[in-house]
Amino acid sequence: MQAARLILLLLASSAMAHAELTLDVKAIELKPKPEDEEVETTFKFRNKGDKTVKILSLESACSCLSAELDKAEYKPGEIGTGHASFKVSTFVGRHEKFVTVSTDDPKQPEWQVNFILDVPAVVDIKPKQLQWFIGDEPTQKSCLVQFTGDEPLKILKITPTRENVEFDWKEIKEGREYLITLKPKSTQEVTMGALKIETSSAIAKYRNQLAFFSISKKPEPLPAATEAKK
Protein backbone atom coordinates (compact mmCIF):
# COMPACT_ATOMS: atom_id res chain seq x y z
CA MET A 1 0.00 0.00 0.00
CA GLN A 2 2.79 2.39 0.95
CA ALA A 3 4.67 1.45 -2.24
CA ALA A 4 1.60 2.34 -4.32
CA ARG A 5 1.31 5.71 -2.60
CA LEU A 6 5.00 6.38 -3.21
CA ILE A 7 4.59 5.58 -6.90
CA LEU A 8 1.58 7.93 -7.12
CA LEU A 9 3.55 10.71 -5.41
CA LEU A 10 6.46 10.23 -7.80
CA LEU A 11 4.13 10.29 -10.80
CA ALA A 12 2.43 13.46 -9.53
CA SER A 13 5.79 15.12 -8.92
CA SER A 14 6.94 14.16 -12.41
CA ALA A 15 3.73 15.52 -13.94
CA MET A 16 4.18 18.84 -12.16
CA ALA A 17 7.83 19.30 -13.16
CA HIS A 18 8.32 21.76 -15.99
CA ALA A 19 10.77 24.18 -17.50
CA GLU A 20 10.13 27.91 -17.68
CA LEU A 21 12.44 29.93 -19.87
CA THR A 22 11.98 33.63 -19.20
CA LEU A 23 13.54 37.06 -19.66
CA ASP A 24 13.75 39.73 -16.97
CA VAL A 25 12.12 42.20 -19.40
CA LYS A 26 9.08 42.01 -21.69
CA ALA A 27 11.13 42.83 -24.78
CA ILE A 28 14.75 43.44 -25.75
CA GLU A 29 15.15 46.98 -27.08
CA LEU A 30 17.62 47.83 -29.83
CA LYS A 31 18.42 51.46 -30.58
CA PRO A 32 20.77 51.74 -33.55
CA LYS A 33 22.25 54.98 -34.83
CA PRO A 34 20.70 56.41 -38.03
CA GLU A 35 23.72 55.31 -40.08
CA ASP A 36 23.86 51.72 -38.75
CA GLU A 37 23.22 48.97 -41.29
CA GLU A 38 23.16 46.25 -38.62
CA VAL A 39 22.84 46.16 -34.85
CA GLU A 40 23.72 43.30 -32.47
CA THR A 41 22.88 42.56 -28.86
CA THR A 42 23.30 39.88 -26.19
CA PHE A 43 20.62 39.04 -23.64
CA LYS A 44 20.27 36.90 -20.52
CA PHE A 45 17.43 34.53 -19.64
CA ARG A 46 16.77 31.92 -16.96
CA ASN A 47 15.20 28.49 -16.66
CA LYS A 48 12.89 29.19 -13.71
CA GLY A 49 11.38 25.73 -13.87
CA ASP A 50 12.31 22.55 -12.00
CA LYS A 51 13.41 20.40 -14.93
CA THR A 52 16.09 20.59 -17.59
CA VAL A 53 14.85 22.01 -20.89
CA LYS A 54 16.22 21.12 -24.29
CA ILE A 55 16.16 23.61 -27.17
CA LEU A 56 14.89 22.04 -30.37
CA SER A 57 14.96 25.01 -32.78
CA LEU A 58 14.83 28.78 -33.22
CA GLU A 59 12.71 30.47 -35.86
CA SER A 60 12.57 34.19 -36.60
CA ALA A 61 9.38 35.92 -37.72
CA CYS A 62 11.44 38.21 -39.98
CA SER A 63 14.43 37.59 -42.25
CA CYS A 64 15.87 40.84 -40.87
CA LEU A 65 16.32 39.25 -37.41
CA SER A 66 18.52 36.29 -36.51
CA ALA A 67 19.28 34.86 -33.07
CA GLU A 68 21.10 32.01 -31.36
CA LEU A 69 21.48 30.67 -27.82
CA ASP A 70 24.77 29.68 -26.19
CA LYS A 71 23.84 25.99 -25.84
CA ALA A 72 21.10 23.41 -26.31
CA GLU A 73 20.14 22.47 -22.72
CA TYR A 74 19.51 24.48 -19.55
CA LYS A 75 19.19 23.02 -16.06
CA PRO A 76 16.73 24.32 -13.45
CA GLY A 77 17.82 27.76 -12.26
CA GLU A 78 20.50 28.04 -14.94
CA ILE A 79 21.11 31.37 -16.70
CA GLY A 80 21.60 31.30 -20.45
CA THR A 81 22.90 33.83 -22.96
CA GLY A 82 21.46 34.68 -26.34
CA HIS A 83 22.83 36.70 -29.22
CA ALA A 84 20.69 38.55 -31.78
CA SER A 85 21.51 40.45 -34.96
CA PHE A 86 19.13 42.84 -36.74
CA LYS A 87 19.62 44.10 -40.29
CA VAL A 88 18.43 47.69 -40.04
CA SER A 89 18.34 48.28 -43.81
CA THR A 90 15.62 50.85 -44.62
CA PHE A 91 13.76 50.53 -41.29
CA VAL A 92 12.84 53.84 -39.65
CA GLY A 93 10.82 54.28 -36.46
CA ARG A 94 9.63 51.63 -34.00
CA HIS A 95 9.27 48.01 -35.10
CA GLU A 96 8.36 44.91 -33.05
CA LYS A 97 9.78 41.52 -34.06
CA PHE A 98 10.18 38.17 -32.32
CA VAL A 99 11.96 34.83 -32.35
CA THR A 100 10.18 31.59 -31.45
CA VAL A 101 12.19 29.05 -29.45
CA SER A 102 10.87 25.47 -29.62
CA THR A 103 11.59 23.25 -26.59
CA ASP A 104 11.01 19.65 -25.45
CA ASP A 105 8.80 20.77 -22.57
CA PRO A 106 5.10 19.98 -23.28
CA LYS A 107 4.09 22.78 -20.87
CA GLN A 108 6.23 25.33 -22.71
CA PRO A 109 6.66 23.93 -26.22
CA GLU A 110 7.29 27.42 -27.59
CA TRP A 111 8.94 30.43 -25.97
CA GLN A 112 8.70 33.79 -27.71
CA VAL A 113 11.57 36.27 -27.37
CA ASN A 114 10.37 39.77 -28.26
CA PHE A 115 12.53 42.53 -29.73
CA ILE A 116 11.82 46.22 -30.30
CA LEU A 117 13.85 48.05 -32.93
CA ASP A 118 13.72 51.83 -32.57
CA VAL A 119 15.50 53.59 -35.44
CA PRO A 120 15.64 57.39 -35.16
CA ALA A 121 14.21 59.28 -38.11
CA VAL A 122 16.49 61.79 -39.83
CA VAL A 123 13.85 63.02 -42.29
CA ASP A 124 10.22 63.63 -41.33
CA ILE A 125 7.56 64.67 -43.88
CA LYS A 126 4.17 65.95 -42.65
CA PRO A 127 1.73 65.20 -44.11
CA LYS A 128 3.15 62.34 -46.12
CA GLN A 129 0.31 62.56 -48.67
CA LEU A 130 -1.64 65.48 -50.14
CA GLN A 131 -5.10 64.68 -51.50
CA TRP A 132 -7.72 66.28 -53.75
CA PHE A 133 -11.04 64.93 -55.03
CA ILE A 134 -12.37 64.92 -58.58
CA GLY A 135 -13.97 68.28 -59.30
CA ASP A 136 -12.34 70.11 -56.39
CA GLU A 137 -10.81 73.53 -56.86
CA PRO A 138 -7.14 72.91 -57.72
CA THR A 139 -6.01 74.73 -54.61
CA GLN A 140 -2.44 74.84 -53.37
CA LYS A 141 -1.51 72.52 -50.48
CA SER A 142 1.76 72.06 -48.64
CA CYS A 143 3.86 69.66 -46.61
CA LEU A 144 6.71 70.31 -44.19
CA VAL A 145 10.04 68.48 -44.48
CA GLN A 146 12.03 68.40 -41.24
CA PHE A 147 15.62 67.20 -40.83
CA THR A 148 15.88 65.94 -37.25
CA GLY A 149 19.31 64.30 -37.23
CA ASP A 150 22.50 65.65 -35.69
CA GLU A 151 23.64 67.22 -38.96
CA PRO A 152 21.66 69.83 -40.94
CA LEU A 153 20.62 68.82 -44.45
CA LYS A 154 19.54 70.43 -47.70
CA ILE A 155 16.93 69.60 -50.32
CA LEU A 156 18.92 69.40 -53.54
CA LYS A 157 16.23 68.53 -56.05
CA ILE A 158 12.54 67.64 -56.34
CA THR A 159 11.14 65.66 -59.28
CA PRO A 160 7.41 64.90 -59.73
CA THR A 161 6.36 61.53 -61.16
CA ARG A 162 3.34 63.17 -62.87
CA GLU A 163 3.19 66.27 -65.10
CA ASN A 164 -0.23 67.40 -63.84
CA VAL A 165 1.22 69.34 -60.88
CA GLU A 166 3.04 72.57 -60.15
CA PHE A 167 5.34 72.70 -57.14
CA ASP A 168 7.87 74.81 -55.32
CA TRP A 169 9.86 74.67 -52.10
CA LYS A 170 11.57 77.09 -49.75
CA GLU A 171 13.80 76.82 -46.72
CA ILE A 172 12.08 77.79 -43.44
CA LYS A 173 14.88 77.00 -40.97
CA GLU A 174 18.37 76.66 -42.38
CA GLY A 175 19.29 73.02 -42.75
CA ARG A 176 16.27 71.94 -40.70
CA GLU A 177 12.91 72.75 -42.29
CA TYR A 178 11.59 73.13 -45.83
CA LEU A 179 8.08 73.93 -46.98
CA ILE A 180 6.96 72.21 -50.19
CA THR A 181 3.88 73.58 -51.97
CA LEU A 182 1.95 71.59 -54.56
CA LYS A 183 -0.96 72.42 -56.84
CA PRO A 184 -2.65 70.24 -59.48
CA LYS A 185 -3.20 71.84 -62.87
CA SER A 186 -6.57 70.09 -63.02
CA THR A 187 -8.65 67.82 -60.79
CA GLN A 188 -10.70 66.25 -63.60
CA GLU A 189 -8.86 62.90 -63.71
CA VAL A 190 -7.89 60.33 -61.11
CA THR A 191 -4.17 60.74 -60.46
CA MET A 192 -1.66 59.13 -58.14
CA GLY A 193 1.93 60.30 -57.96
CA ALA A 194 4.84 61.37 -55.81
CA LEU A 195 7.47 64.02 -55.42
CA LYS A 196 10.96 62.53 -55.43
CA ILE A 197 12.94 64.55 -52.90
CA GLU A 198 16.72 64.36 -53.13
CA THR A 199 18.55 65.42 -49.96
CA SER A 200 22.21 66.05 -49.07
CA SER A 201 22.27 63.18 -46.53
CA ALA A 202 25.39 61.04 -46.50
CA ILE A 203 23.24 58.10 -45.34
CA ALA A 204 21.88 56.26 -48.38
CA LYS A 205 18.38 55.50 -47.04
CA TYR A 206 17.77 59.19 -46.26
CA ARG A 207 19.15 60.53 -49.52
CA ASN A 208 15.95 59.98 -51.50
CA GLN A 209 12.53 60.56 -49.95
CA LEU A 210 8.96 60.54 -51.26
CA ALA A 211 5.97 62.78 -50.63
CA PHE A 212 2.78 61.45 -52.23
CA PHE A 213 -0.20 63.16 -53.84
CA SER A 214 -3.49 61.94 -55.29
CA ILE A 215 -6.70 63.02 -57.00
CA SER A 216 -9.43 60.51 -56.30
CA LYS A 217 -13.18 60.08 -56.56
CA LYS A 218 -15.23 61.50 -53.74
CA PRO A 219 -16.52 58.81 -51.37
CA GLU A 220 -20.17 57.90 -51.79
CA PRO A 221 -22.41 59.57 -49.18
CA LEU A 222 -23.84 57.30 -46.53
CA PRO A 223 -27.49 56.34 -47.08
CA ALA A 224 -29.92 58.52 -45.17
CA ALA A 225 -31.26 56.94 -42.00
CA THR A 226 -34.73 55.46 -42.35
CA GLU A 227 -37.35 57.61 -40.67
CA ALA A 228 -38.77 56.10 -37.57
CA LYS A 229 -42.26 54.76 -38.06
CA LYS A 230 -44.89 57.00 -36.63
Separation CA 137–CA 17 (nearest Å): 72
Residue type at position 108:
Q
Strands (DSSP E) along 63-175, which ranges? 65-69, 73-74, 79-87, 93-103, 110-119, 123-126, 129-133, 141-147, 155-160, 165-173
Q: How confident is the model at residue 121 (pLDDT cuts 50, 70, 90)?
A: confident
pLDDT for position 57: 96
Looking at residues 215-219, what average pLDDT do you find? 91
Class assignment of domain 19-119?
mainly beta
Q: What is the pLDDT of residue 102?
A: 96
Nearest to 74 by CA among 94, 51, 57: 51
Q: Are the C-beta atoms of 80 and 49 separated by less than 8 Å?
A: no
Q: Which helix (H) or strand (E) holds 14?
A: helix 2-16
Note if the pTM is more than 0.75: no
Do 98 and 114 contact (CB within 8 A), yes or no?
yes
pLDDT level of residue 154 (50, 70, 90 thresholds): very high
Query: How far is it, in rounded angstroms, from Cα 199 to Cα 156?
Result: 5
State the pLDDT at residue 220.
80
| Nearest alpha carbon to residue 30 among 72, 77, 62, 57 | 62
Average pLDDT, the chain: 89
pLDDT in tens, 3-57: 445 444 444 444 456 668 999 899 999 999 988 999 999 999 999 999 999 999 9
Given a contact cutoff of 8 angstroms between Cβ atoms, the answer to whether 196 and 167 are in contact is: no
Query: What mean pLDDT do residues 78-94 have?
Result: 92
Q: Where in the chain is the domain with CATH 2.60.40.10?
A: 19-119, 123-216
For residues 214 and 91, give the distance between their C-alpha atoms in angstroms, rounded to a whole number.
25
Task: Please give the DSSP secondary-structure letter assigned to residue 64.
Answer: T
3-class state of residue 139 by DSSP: coil
CATH 2.60.40.10 is held by the domain 123-216: yes
SS3 label, residue 16: helix
Q: Of all residues in the chain, what percent carry a pLDDT higher than 70?
A: 89
45 near 23, Cβ under 8 Å?
yes
pLDDT classification of 92: cutoffs 50, 70, 90: confident
Q: Give the Cα separation of 148 and 209 in Å (integer).
A: 14
| Separation of alpha carbons 132 and 28, rounded Å | 43
Higher pLDDT, 168 or 121: 168
pLDDT at 17: 64
Question: Using CA atoms, how far apart are residues 63 and 95, in angstroms rounded to an integer?
Answer: 14
Closest-CA residue to 170 (of 181, 162, 178): 178
